[in-house]
Amino acid sequence: MADKIATREAYGNALAEFGAKYNDIVVLDADLAEATKTCIFKKKFPERFFDCGIAENNMFGVAAGLAASGKIPFASTFAMFAAGRSFDQVRNSIGYPHLNVKICATHGGVSVGEDGATHQCCEDMALMRTIPGMVVMNPSDAIEARCAVEAAINYDGPVYVRFGRLPVSVINDNEDYKFEIGKGVKLFDGTDVTIIANGLMVEQALIAREMLREDGISASVVNMHTIKPIDKELIIAEAQQTGAIVTTEEHNIIGGLGGAVAEVVSEVCPVPVVRHGVPDQFGKSGAGKDLLEHFGLNAKGIVEKVKIALNLKKMR
Amino acid sequence: MNNDKILELKKIATDIRLGAVEAVYSGKSGHPGGALSASDILACLYFSELRIDPKKPRDPKRDRFVLSKGHSCPALYAAMALRGYFDIKELKNFRHLGSLTQGHPDMKTMKGIDMSAGSLGQGFSTACGMALAAKLNGDDYRTYAMIGDGESQEGQIWEATMFAAHYKLDNLCLIVDNNGLQIDGPVKDVMNVMPYPSKFRAFGWNVISIDGHNIEEILNAFEEAKTVKGKPTVIVAKTVKGKGVSFMENQAGWHGKAPNEVQYNQAKAELEKYKSEL
């Protein structure tokens, strides 16, 4: 396994890489270029980088105007300010006219760490998912982050991508790895339960699978990097195959991946769906990895939810 | 200035007012006050200033116009219909289900609308993006945006004001439709955001103050704006809300209310009389 790398770092590198290939890429930031890693692009293409200052709402409007004039704007800030503060701008200036803006938000989830609850956005996937026509992604490692950026460039329309602050393991470094918007990646096949994960919880899902195997439980593992459009086909196939699903995400259990999966399952093939994520609470200050432990966002937490799901399955 | 041209634009502005009042009457809802205050400026934009071709509404080289105060779209729709973007009969379908003429401008539904707008404070920022794109591409098109009085209370307006000056968007021209009224009453009583000229000057803008119903002053302001390099220009246009319809003039109550049949007929008669006496 390669060294750990944050998906925000991979994002900055991808911008610089694809910026050379696509002259229409323009990058906007709101005084966080060092943190969001758009500074990597800025260094290489200063004439196509525009700092908007601490004025996110205007930034997303400027991005909309650039897109309406044929540019491919990437607008970055923390997830809290992109999806939270600027929800109205993203909805009305970008989503409603279906403009080709790439909203690339870093510092999603509680792993932001020390900055505390005001900066730990656990609602972004839920918010962005309710905007008609918005593609919503949360890549699991550096390789997938790069793929998400490339896919966003090649997709004509609004896209929201969440990147993380913490360095995470590279898990998609196998030769047959393929990224497609809206297509989940099945990492392991199992018979008893399916774990559907995204973001940094994919790695934990893989560890949980090993732990469950030692207990004689066979788990499918799906990396659901795109939560909108959600891969209904794969979810239904898993529900039919294993009859129990656990979702895991670094997001409020309300409205994110768990919500998206439960919506599909309950309408098409009802089986138990147990949501693992940030309980309906605000975060707090602490080291990112300590906060993940605090909220049980680890393999052990997933295993506990799997046991609950298996009990529910037995009771049916 | 050519007197025939001024007379012609006055007539067009009156036709825009007639169209706007008809749209709001037919839609049984909408915003006549700010549409009527903006009509002379819209006449000058669509029939003199903007480099546009209704047959090529997506031409990358066209001038852009963003009606950031999107609720004034009855006048925008009337101007566009008169300019040939769509059949003027469509004004009768204003705000009806399935119509081209949505309650606030929608670039997806209607070709020729350069930006969907309606949530106040947002259109101006998108115009900044369009002006920035022109700079990046080396295009010589100009971008115009119109904001309202009450709209200027939105913080985003001043974010965009900073941005346009910082990036020296001299290909951007902002118009403030300064009619002094908003839904809850006079702007100075609701939340005073005036005076505009000193505020914009402090942000580094070129400021031109005019009477927003004087065709000659409007045209001259647009000309002057084009000559100013290195900074954006704002035209602060003093206007009368409800201009041209006696009982709507300077009445905050006519911000967002449709006339009944009697009121509509009176408004129409007044405007037609004005036009016939031009």
Grouping H, G, I as helix, E, B as strand and the rest as coil, residue A193 is strand
Tokens coding B125: 């920022």
Which residues have C-beta within 8 Å of that of residue A61, sequence separation ≥ 6? A89, A93, B122, B123, B124, B125, B126, B128, B129, B156, B160
Largest Cα–Cα distance in chain A? 62
Within 8 A of B123 by CB-CB distance, chain A residues are: 61, 93
* A180-225 pLDDT, tens digit each: 999 999 999 999 999 999 999 999 999 999 999 999 999 999 999 9
Given CB atoms, is A45 within the 8 Å cutoff of chain B? no
Least Cα distance to A140 among A164, A119, A122, A121 occurs for A164
Least Cα distance to A305 among A261, A240, A268 occurs for A261
* A147-189 pLDDT, tens digit each: 999 999 999 999 999 999 999 999 999 999 999 999 999 999 9
How far from A183 is each of A3, A229, A275, CA to CA, in Å?
A: 27, 9, 20
Distance of CA B34 to the CA centre of its chain: 9
d(CA A6, CA A145) in angstroms, rounded, equals: 9
pLDDT per residue of chain A (316 residues) written in tens, 0 to 9: 558 999 999 999 999 999 999 999 999 999 999 999 999 999 999 999 999 999 999 999 999 999 999 999 999 999 999 999 999 999 999 999 999 999 999 999 999 999 999 999 999 999 999 999 999 999 999 999 999 999 999 999 999 999 999 999 999 999 999 999 999 999 999 999 999 999 999 999 999 999 999 999 999 999 999 999 999 999 999 999 999 999 999 999 999 999 999 999 999 999 999 999 999 999 999 999 999 999 999 999 999 999 999 999 999 8
How far from A313 is each of A162, A244, A263, A300, B131, CA to CA, in Å?
A: 33, 6, 18, 20, 59
Within 8 A of A73 by CB-CB distance, chain B residues are: 129
Q: Do B115 and A65 touch (CB under 8 A)?
A: yes
Tokens coding B265: 């007929």
Residue of A9, A17, A34, A56 marked active site: A56
Provide the pLDDT for residue A2.
57
Amino acid at site A303: V
Least Cα distance to B225 among B190, B257, B200 occurs for B200
Given CB atoms, is A57 within the 8 Å cutoff of chain B? yes
Known catalytic residue at A56: yes
d(CA A183, CA A7) in angstroms, rounded, equals: 19
Smallest Cα distance from B131 to chain A, Å: 8
Closest CB to A65: pick one of B127, B137, B166.
B127
How far from A168 is each of A115, A155, A278, A314, B143, CA to CA, in Å?
A: 19, 26, 18, 35, 45
Closest CB to B118: pick one of A26, A53, A92.
A92
Q: Do B130 and A73 touch (CB under 8 A)?
A: no
d(CA A192, CA A245) in angstroms, rounded, equals: 9
Q: Do B124 and A93 touch (CB under 8 A)?
A: no
Least Cα distance to A238 among A205, A280, A273, A278 occurs for A273
Q: Do B129 and A70 touch (CB under 8 A)?
A: no
